Amino acid sequence: MKTANKLTIINDPIYGFITIPNGLIFNLIEHKYFQRLRRISQMGLSYLVYPGAHHTRFHHAIGCVHIMQKALEKLEQKGVRVSSEEKEATMAAILLHDIGHGPFSHAMENSIAEGVHHEQISLQFMEQLNDEFNGNLTLALKIFKGTYHRPFLHQLVSGQLDMDRTDYLKRDSFYTGMAEGNINTDRILAMLNVKDDELMVEEKGIYTIEKFLVARRLMYWQVYLHKTSLVAEQVLVKVLKRAKYLTESGQVLPASKALSYFLKKKNAEGVFDQEALEVFSNLDDYDIISAMKSWCDADDFVLSTLCKIIIDRKLPRIKIKKKPFKKEFIQEERERVKVHYDITDEEVDYFVFTGTLTNQAYTLKKEAINILTKKGKVIDVISASDQLSLKALSKVITKNYICYPKHLN
């Protein structure tokens, strides 16, 4: 990547070449806040199941910019007027939409960084960058927050058919090798249109949308909620909770400066203060994994055992069912583990635990996907396709799981 007066070209296994326009977008990519995303895995610990899935949030964000650029070009070809300021701002907004993600976000948000959502952190980083870039991100911020008067720009950044989802479904399907999750980006982009500043899908794109939603659900159940990824992530939550508990109890665990800060920190209420934000900007996967590697030798039995489970990939057993597990069964497993490990009831919670999974491919009410008919009418995709299976896709599915150690003998 160069600052010279020409386009910067990035090789991408998915789109071939990605061309980054110089100026704001290029300078944002060069910023250390954004470079940090190179060290944040897009799919958390999923690589323990899909060894190809080592792609990063950096790469995803760049991919989003690429298809956003294409989407806006397509819309312009169809007569939708988009000013160059709007274009740059929308591209900046999608570039930065995930900048607040921490390492293994979902695990962190359920352990040491409870109380602050990654979208909030993205917003805080964007505001900070807006200061550094002399207000050049003001419009991007409006679009990101959905307060700009042309809603379709926000819908392209964040909605049921946004460029974020379009890229991550394609990218995650590609890197996991789960070819069935693949979606036809070109066709999706070709089907977009705008009416009264709202994002629409042209009527002939209805099968494409259905396929998109089916692919999305498939990716949820077979990849994102894959039981082995799930169990790995849950163990990671337990590791971080235990480390925080031990730290609060006065123990000093080896950890990077940034991770130590968050182990000690009281949970924030909704937002980070300036200090927390700055420290957070130094936190990435390497802090977490390195800490776990050293904690494999920790004195605390619970912590060291949990860390080895992840580092050496000796994952617990997980079972998934439609109905909740019986209390007796859970109690039995707890007892076995308690005796086997010789640990307390509280400590058993780290090894035997239950929870629920839920997924809904299409949300009926908010952020509907609008279909623009050939005659110019606007209808929701569900009613547009009464013969189709979309209604079924909007049903909420809930499943129950239990995790407990295997190979106890």
Query: Between residues 145 and 227, which has the closer beta carbon with respect to its own copies?
Result: 227
Kindly tell me which of 272 and 362 has the beta carbon lying closer to its own copies: 362
CA separation, residue 167 to residues 5, 10, 83 (Å): 28, 16, 24
CB 142 to its own copies: min, Å: 29
Closest to its own copies by CB, 60 vs 242, is: 60
Nearest distance in Å: CB 90, its own copies: 21
| Residue 275 structure tokens | 């200090």
Q: Say which residue the tokens 């909420």 belong to.
A: 396
Written as six digits, the tokens of 374 are: 């050939």
Q: Which is nearer to its own copies, 25 or 390 (CB)?
A: 390
d(CA 233, CA 239): 10
At closest approach, how far in Å is the CB of 269 from its own copies? 29
Minimum CB separation from its own copies for residue 297, in Å? 8
Task: Name the minimum Å distance from CB 290 to its own copies.
Answer: 4
Decide whether 182 or 251 has the Cβ nearer to its own copies: 182
CB 209 within 8 A of CB 382: no
Tokens of 209: 């949308």
Which is nearer to its own copies, 287 or 333 (by Cβ)? Answer: 287
Listing DSSP states for 35-77 in one string gives: HGGGGSBTTGGGGGTSTT---BHHHHHHHHHHHHHHHHHHHHH
The minimum distance between CB 397 and its own copies, in angstroms, equals 5
Counted residue by residue, the chain has a size of 409
Pair of tokens at residue 256: 């990077």
* Smallest separation (angstroms) from its own copies to the CB of 19: 9
Kindly give, in sequence order, each residue whose CB lies less than 8 Å from that of residue 102, ignoring residues fewer than 6 positions away.
40, 108, 109, 113, 118, 121, 280, 283, 284
Closer residue to its own copies in complex, CB, 148/261: 261
**Side chain identity, residue 55:** H
Kindly tell me the sign of the dihedral angle through the C-alpha atoms of 36, 42, 44, 50: negative
